[in-house]
Chains A and B, each alone.
Chain A
C-alpha cells in the first residue's frame, strides 16, 4: 500500500514540474483526455458497460462551456460548471433509456444516441457547424487569476484532473462502488440479494457522463475551440482505445493510455495514415495478449501474483476466522442438544464479535431474508432463526407474526429477498404455504421449519418448501453450506 502511495506522490511531483520540460499545451490536452478516459472507465471497468457514445457528453459539454464563456461571458469555472451540469443531465436522460439493455445492445443504443447528438450539433446554429465555436476566451478564474498564460492554465487543469481522479477513486472504493462491481460480476445475483441494480447503474452513468463533460469543458478552455471532432464517434472509439491500452478497471490505467495515445497523435502527426495503422495494431495486441493493459500488467507484476479482478474481496483472513468460530459453535452443539437460551447467547456473542471488528459476516454483500409466521402467535422459534441469521451476517426484514399469505407474497414480490423464513405449527396450513411457494419470485428460497414439518414428513414435498430446518444448528449449517456453494 505504501509503495503505491509513494508511486502516486512521485507522479504528482512529475506533474508539477513537467511543464518546464514538455510543451504545456500537449500536457493539458493529455490531462483532459485522461480525465475523460477515467470517467469512461468508471462505466466500463467497474460496471461492465461498454458505451460507444461517450463523445456525446465530452463534446456537448465542450460546446456548452464554450458558448457560456464566449457568448454569456461567464468566468471559466462557472462555464465549466455549466458544461458539467448539462452533461450530467444528458447522462441522466441517456442513461435512463440505455440502462435497460445490456452488452452489445447497450453499446448500440449509446452509439445511436451519440449520432443524434452529433447531428444536432451539425445543425444547431449555436455550434456553428463545421467551423465550431472559435476564439473562446480563457478568461479570469474566479474573476482574479488570468488563465491566458499556458503555465497558469496548466496548474489549474492539473488541479481539476487530480481532484477528478480522487473523486473517482472515492466512488470506486465506497460501498456504492462495491455494489457496482457486484453488478459487473453477476447482476442476477446482485438483484437476488435485494439491490436495485438499475439505480446503481444509472447513478454510475450520470457520474461518468458528468465527469466526461467536465473534461470536455476543460479542453475547450485549453484550445479555445469547440468543434465537431469532439462529438464524432471517432472520439468515442479513441477513448475506448485509451482505456483498453492503459488497463480497464484500474484508476490510473486510462490516464496512462490517454497520454500515450495523445503522444502518438502529437509526435507522429507527420506520418499520416501510419497513425491509424498503429492504433489498429495497439487494439489487436491489447485484445489478444495484453488484456489487462499497461497499468493492469504493472499491478500484476508488482503484486507478484495474478490479481483477480474481484479486488473488493477483503482479505481471506477474517473470513476464515469467522467461519472457524461458526464451526466451533456447531461442533459444540453437536454432542449436546442446545436450548433456546444457548442459541440466543451464541448468536449475541457472534454479533458482538462482528460489530467490534466491523465484519460483514459470511458474505461481503449480505443476502436479504424476510421472516414471518402464518399460524404462530408467539414466534419463539422464529426469534432463534432471526438472531442466528443476523449473527451470520444475513440482513433480516421481519414481516411479523400471523401474517396472511397474501401479504407475505406481496412483500416477497416487492423486496425480492434471497430467503423467506417461515415457521409453521399446524398441518392444515399446508394450503397457505403451497400458495406462498407458488407466488415466490424464482430467486427466493423458502426456508422453513416447525412442528408441522416434524409431524408430517411429506409436508415439505406437498407444499414445495425448498429447505427444511430442524433446529438452530441445522440452520447455521445450511447458511454455511449455501455460502460455500454460491461462491464456488
Chain B
C-alpha cells in the first residue's frame, strides 16, 4: 500500500525532473543568423537594416531565452546561391546557428531552405519573394513571413482592374522571378475581368528601358505592369517619366517596390505609383514608434517591409522557443504555427501549415511631392487587404507534404 501511495509522488517528481531536462537548448546558446545582401542590389531594402531589426527583437525579448543567451550573427551572400549555401552549411555545421532569417533572392532561398530542411534547422524568409517557397519547395521548418509574389500580384492587379485599369502590358525581367511575377499578375488580372495585351522581356539586369517603354506605349494598354525589382524598376520608372508615359494617360504598376526604392527615385518620378506592401512605417502609432527606434540606429532611414518582417519573425521564433521549452527545430516550428503573431508588424497574423505567415497587406499609392509633409512621408493608404484574401488559399497548395496528407 505504501508503495502505491508514493508512486504518484514519484511520477510527479519524475516529470518535474524530466521537464527541466527537456528545457534543452542546443549548445547552450540560441544563435540567429541573418543571411542577406549586405553590399549589393538589395542591401538598402534588407542588408544591415535587417540585422538591426533582429537585434532589436532579441533586446525586446530580453536577451535570453530558457535561461540561455541569444546571439545574432550575419553574413553577406552577395545574391549568389553558392555563397549562400556555403555560409548556411558552415553556420549549421561549425557555428551552431539555429535559425537563418531574411534571405533575399529566391535562388538563395531555395538552396538555404533545402539545407535547413535536411539539417533540421528553421529558416524564416522575409525578403525572398517567390510563392514556390511555400508550395513546390515548401519545408516543415521553413517560413515565409513578410510578403510573396502572389499577394503582390493579386493585390495590385485586382485593385487596378477594379479602378478601370483593365488592359495591361508587362515589362518583365527575363529571369525566373520576373516570369513568375508576370504570370501571377496576369492570372489575377484576367480573373478580375481584365485583359493582358502583351508583354516584353528585357534582359536582367538592364539599364535602358526606352525601347521597351516605347513598345508598351504602342500597345495602348491602360496599365503598364513592371514585373521586375530593384534597380530595374527604378530605371524603368525614371525613364517612363522621361518619355511622358504617364502624361499620356497610361499608368504604371510597380509590382515589387520597396519604400527604399521610392526614396531612391524621388517623389517627382515615383508619384502616382500603385503598390502592394506588407508594411508601412507611418501606418499607426505602434508602427511609428518602432520605426522611429529603428531609424535612430539606421541614420534616419525608414524600414521596409522586409526589415520590419525580420523583427517580427525573430520575435515570434523566440516566443515559440519559450513555449516549446526547447530550440529543436520541429518542436519550435510546431509552436510557431500554433501561436498567433501579434506585434506592430501583424495583428492576428497566422502561420499556416505550409509556412506562410498570413497577415494584412496594404494597397498604397505614392504621394505627389506637394502632398508629402515630412521626410519619408511617401504613401497614402488606399485599402487594407485582409490576409486571407491576399494570399494563395491553402486549398490550392502545391506543397508536397501537404498534398500527401490530403491523399
Contacts and interface: CB of A to CB of B under 8 A. Distances in A.
Interface string A267-279: 0011111001000
Contact of A130 (B38, B76, B85, B106): B106
A129 interface: yes
B114 interface: yes
Contacts of A25: 86, 89-90, 93
A269 B75 contact: yes
Contacts, number: 71
Contacts of B174: 122
A272 B76 contact: yes
Given A23-B93, A122-B174, A122-B175, A131 B81 contact: yes
18 contacts: A23-B90, A23-B94, A25-B93, A26-B86, A129-B176, A130-B106, A130-B176, A132-B81, A132-B111, A134-B111, A134-B114, A224-B85, A225-B85, A225-B111, A227-B81, A227-B107, A269-B76, A271-B76
Interface of A: 23, 25-26, 29, 122, 128-132, 134-135, 150, 223-225, 227, 229-230, 265-266, 269-273, 276
A134 B108 CA distance: 10
Interface in B68-90: 74-76, 80-83, 85-87, 89-90
A123 to B, nearest CB: 8
A26 B85 CA distance: 12
Given A128-B176, A269-B83, 5 more contacts: A23-B93, A25-B93, A122-B175, A223-B85, A227-B107
A343 B74 CA distance: 82
Contacts of B94: 23
B177 interface: yes
A271 B90 CA distance: 17
B107 A132 contact: yes
A230 B177 CA distance: 20
Contact of B110 (A23, A131, A150): A131
Nearest to B81: A227
Interface string B188-204: 00000000000000001
A83 to B, nearest CB: 16
Contacts of A266: 86, 90
Nearest to B80: A229
The 6 closest A-B pairs by CB, nearest first: A272-B39, A272-B38, A273-B39, A130-B175, A131-B107, A229-B80
Contact of B43 (A132, A224, A271, A272): A272
Interface string B41-69: 00100000000000000000000000000
Nearest to B95: A23
B59 to A, nearest CB: 20
Given A229-B80, A270-B38, A130 B177 contact: yes
A135 B114 contact: yes
Contacts of B93: 23, 25, 150
A128 to B, nearest CB: 7
Given A129-B176, A227-B80, A229-B81, A269 B87 contact: yes
Residue in B76, B82, B85, B90 whose Cβ sees the most chain A Cβ within 10 Å? B82
Contacts of A227: 80-82, 107
Nearest to A26: B90
A29 B39 contact: no
B74 A270 contact: yes
* B86, B87, B110 pick with most chain A CB within 10 angstroms: B86
A219 to B, nearest CB: 8
A281 B39 CA distance: 18
Given A227-B80, A270-B74, A273-B39, A29 B86 contact: yes
Contacts of A273: 39
A96 to B, nearest CB: 29
